[in-house]
Structure 1
Amino acid sequence: MTHHTYKSIELTGSSPTGIEDAVNSAIAKASRTVHNLRWFQVTEVRGQIDQNKVAHWQVTMKLGFSLDH
Structure 2
Amino acid sequence: MQVAKVIELSASSPKGIEDAVQQGLSKASESIKGIQGAWVNDIKCVTDAKGSVQEWRVNMRVTFVVD
TMscore range, shorter length: over 0.9
Q: Matches of 1:54 and 1:45 in 2, distance apart? A: 13
Q: Which entry has the higher C-alpha Rg, 1 or 2? A: 1
The RMSD of aligned alpha carbons is 0.6
Structure 2 counterpart of 1:25: 23
Note the C-alpha offset of 1:20.
0.2
Count of aligned pairs:
66
Q: Which residue of 2 aligns with 1:36?
A: 34
> Please, what TM-score do these two structures have when normalized by structure 1?
0.92
How far apart are the structure 2 equivalents of 1:48 and 1:66? 33
TM-score normalised to structure 2 length: 0.95
**2:62 is equivalent to residue 63 of structure 1:** yes
The alpha-carbon deviation at position 7 of structure 1 amounts to: 0.1
Aligned-pair distance for 1:49? 0.6
Structure 2 gap segments, 5+ residues each: none
- Residue identity (%): 36
**Cα offset for 1:52?**
1.4
Which sits farther off after the overlay, 21-30 or 49-58? 49-58
